């Protein structure tokens, strides 16, 4: 059917030539992707402009045809941006909607745009472009969050809190040191993101349906016009590869795992039981029944959203598993998980980047907590080793001192010299230098250690990493 024969009917399928009956109405909706792929309209138009520009360069289109196509596409772009474009499910996806609109505008020349191209390489190009643009936004948010962490880490370089293992008080650490641990997780995420970007940023355009095309196309030129690093190497792989989407989801899952861990700590720390930090009211909500409540909703929700992102990774992996070459309609299912992973990660990073610099520490409460759990016991053991006692023996001596402390309700640093000397005659007055929380953290003064001095150095090094981006 040609459009001329049936001007009354809803838009005719661009592929309708060999069909003898219209698509079943439900199947039409079932197979359509326009509801969710229309968000790639900029990328689709940019890809088409690059393709038309290349076709004119190699002589397949005239310069005049190229210009008509570009002008028509720019009009359509403006119409979509203004919310005036009418998307049609009958036209299935973003690609055919825009192409049909172009032909409706400029006539026969619009029908030439698809020369030497297929929706298979078109959609692969669009997703890569879309992903690349979103990666750049996400990279900025990630950097903003890391900057915030450095800001607070420097501010809290001397703040003492208990460090935990098994969520039991272990050794004192500085709050700044703890925040720099989060920074490191995010630093690895950033490098994973950049690694993903690099493999995403290659141009599949020109692979056409699967085997390439008979026209004298210039793939390096379209790649360059679209800001890709280079064309992809194999046409079959180009139209079917979705590794970049899987890689993004893998990055996203690991990042969300990190954010969920930080969230969990923030939730714990804001509780009355820990009472380590305060989140500003603007990042919390109340209860409709309990007037006293101030709930850490933002970290809780971020923690919860890690679930859907993990789901998207599994979804993408399963989608691609066992798919024969080359393009299969299965691939249309790549978009919703990828888009939701992108949206979720971007929003969670934004919430965190806004919230982190606004955290206030409750220093006295952290200090008290660090003192309560015999957190300098290891320091006492190390002290005895320096006095010539073997570590296993000193461990035993300190264990007995702790048992005594529990019995009488005293921290090691609160015991008198005489009390301590019951457990070892090697203990002398200088022991109090190591039993204090300040002495304990200051003594861990090496690369990666918790000493305030090292925290400041690590933050300075981290700043240079961010400056290089």
x/- string (CB under 6 A) for ligand ARG, residues 278-317? Answer: ----------------------------------------
> Comparing C-alpha atoms, which of 31, 56, 36, 45 is closest to residue 95?
45
> Comparing C-alpha atoms, which of 132, 167, 107 is closest to residue 47?
132
User: With binding defined as CB under 6 A, does residue 440 bind ligand ARG?
Assistant: no
One residue of 5, 84, 166, 329 binding ligand ARG per CB under 6 A = 329
For ligand ARG, the closer CB: 96 or 279: 96
DSSP one-letter code for 295:
B
How many residues sit close enough to ligand ARG to count as binding (CB under 6 A)?
10
Q: Tell me the closest approach of the beta carbon of residue 194 to ligand ARG, in angstroms.
A: 27
Q: Tell me the closest approach of the beta carbon of residue 87 to ligand ARG, in angstroms.
A: 13
For ligand ARG, the closer CB: 37 or 189: 37
Q: Phi, psi at residue 216, to the nearest 5°?
A: -80, 60
Other Cβ atoms closer than 10 A to 451 = 20
The catalytically annotated residue of 114, 177, 178, 287 is: 287
Per DSSP, the residues of 204-256 read -TT-TTTT--SS---HHHHHHHTT-SEE-S-HHHHHH--HHHHHHHHHHHHHH
> Comparing C-alpha atoms, which of 404, 430, 425, 399 is closest to residue 415?
404
x/- string (CB under 6 A) for ligand ARG, residues 83-102? Answer: ----------x---------
**Three-class SS state of 465:** helix
Tokens of 449: 């250690």
Residue with tokens 């450095």: 150
The helix-helix angle for 175-200 and 243-270 (nearest 10°) equals 170
Can the peptide bond before residue 254 be classed as cis, meaning omega within 30 degrees of 0?
no
For ligand ARG, the closer CB: 238 or 331: 331
User: With binding defined as CB under 6 A, does residue 277 bind ligand ARG?
Assistant: no
Gap between the Cα atoms of 423 and 404, Å rounded: 10
Which class for 300: exposed (0-12), middle (13-18), buried (19 or more C-beta within 10 A)?
middle
Part in contact with ligand ARG (CB under 6 A); list of ranges 213-221, 323-331, 336-344, 410-418: 323-331
> Comparing C-alpha atoms, which of 30, 119, 117, 154 is closest to residue 456?
154
For ligand ARG, the closer CB: 332 or 361: 332
For ligand ARG, the closer CB: 246 or 254: 246
One residue of 123, 255, 349, 359 binding ligand ARG per CB under 6 A = 123
For ligand ARG, the closer CB: 97 or 263: 97
Let me know if 287 is a catalytic residue.
yes
One residue of 48, 90, 109, 120 binding ligand ARG per CB under 6 A = 120
Under a CB-based contact definition with an 8 Å cutoff, are residues 63 and 123 in contact?
Answer: no
One residue of 51, 119, 178, 242 binding ligand ARG per CB under 6 A = 119
Under a CB-based contact definition with an 8 Å cutoff, are residues 180 and 356 in contact?
Answer: no
Tokens of 308: 């859907």
For ligand ARG, the closer CB: 29 or 230: 29
Let me know if 312 is a catalytic residue.
no
Gap between the Cα atoms of 173 and 289, Å rounded: 38
Part in contact with ligand ARG (CB under 6 A); list of ranges 115-123, 135-143, 173-181, 396-404: 115-123
Other Cβ atoms closer than 10 A to 224 = 16
For ligand ARG, the closer CB: 190 or 327: 327
Part in contact with ligand ARG (CB under 6 A); list of ranges 155-163, 184-192, 308-316, 325-333: 325-333
Q: Tell me the closest approach of the beta carbon of residue 62 to ligand ARG, in angstroms.
A: 28
DSSP one-letter code for 285:
B
Tokens of 101: 């609109």
Part in contact with ligand ARG (CB under 6 A); list of ranges 118-126, 368-376, 382-390, 440-448: 118-126
User: With binding defined as CB under 6 A, does residue 332 bind ligand ARG?
Assistant: yes
Subset of residues 3 to 62 that bind ligand ARG, contact rule: CB under 6 A = 33, 37
Part in contact with ligand ARG (CB under 6 A); list of ranges 53-61, 82-90, 119-127, 174-182: 119-127
User: Which residues are tagged catalytic?
Assistant: 166, 287
Judged by the rule CB under 6 A, the positions of this chain that interact with ligand ARG are 33, 37, 93, 119-120, 123, 327, 329, 331-332
């Amino acid at each position: 059917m040609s459009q001329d024969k049936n001007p009354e009917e809803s838009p005719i399928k661009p592929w309708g030539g060999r069909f003898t009956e219209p698509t079943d109405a439900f199947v039409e909706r079932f197979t359509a992707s326009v509801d969710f792929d229309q968000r790639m309209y900029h990328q689709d138009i940019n890809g088409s402009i690059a393709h038309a520009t290349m076709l004119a360069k190699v002589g397949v289109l005239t310069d005049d045809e190229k210009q008509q196509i570009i002008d028509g596409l720019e009009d359509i772009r403006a119409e979509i941006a203004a919310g005036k474009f009418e998307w049609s499910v009958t036209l299935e996806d973003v690609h055919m909607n825009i192409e049909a609109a172009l032909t409706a505008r400029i006539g026969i020349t619009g029908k030439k745009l698809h020369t030497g191209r297929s929706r298979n390489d078109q959609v692969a190009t669009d997703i890569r472009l879309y992903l690349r643009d979103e990666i750049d936004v996400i990279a900025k948010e990630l950097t903003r969050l890391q900057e915030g962490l450095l800001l607070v880490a420097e501010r809290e370089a001397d703040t003492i809190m208990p460090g935990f293992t098994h969520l039991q008080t272990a050794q004192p650490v500085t709050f700044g040191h703890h925040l720099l641990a989060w920074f490191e997780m995010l630093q690895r995420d950033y490098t994973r993101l950049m690694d993903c970007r690099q493999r995403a940023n290659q141009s599949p355009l020109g692979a056409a349906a699967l085997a390439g095309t008979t026209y004298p196309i210039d793939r390096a030129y379209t790649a360059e016009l679209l800001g890709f690093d280079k064309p992809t190497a194999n046409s079959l792989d180009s139209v079917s590869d979705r590794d970049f989407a899987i890689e993004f989801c893998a990055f996203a899952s690991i990042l969300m795992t990190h954010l969920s861990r930080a969230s969990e700590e923030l939730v714990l720390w804001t509780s009355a039981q820990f009472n380590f930090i305060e989140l500003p009211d603007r990042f919390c909500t109340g209860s409709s029944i309990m007037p006293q409540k101030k709930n850490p909703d933002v970290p809780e929700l971020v923690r919860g959203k890690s679930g859907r992102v993990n789901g998207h990774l599994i979804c993408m992996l399963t989608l691609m598993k066992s798919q024969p070459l080359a393009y299969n309609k299965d691939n249309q299912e790549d978009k919703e998980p990828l888009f939701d992973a992108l949206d979720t990660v971007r929003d969670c990073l934004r919430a965190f980047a806004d919230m982190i610099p606004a955290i206030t520490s409750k220093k006295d409460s952290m200090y008290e907590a660090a003192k309560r759990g015999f957190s300098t016991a290891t320091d006492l053991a190390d002290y005895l080793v320096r006095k010539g006692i073997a570590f296993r023996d000193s461990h035993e001596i300190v264990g007995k001192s702790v048992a005594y402390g529990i019995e009488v309700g005293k921290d090691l640093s609160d015991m008198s010299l005489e009390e301590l000397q019951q457990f070892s005659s090697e203990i002398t007055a200088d022991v109090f230098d190591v039993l204090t929380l300040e002495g304990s953290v200051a003594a861990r003064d090496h690369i990666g250690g918790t000493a305030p001095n090292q925290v400041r150095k690590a933050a300075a090094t981290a700043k240079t990493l961010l400056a290089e981006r």
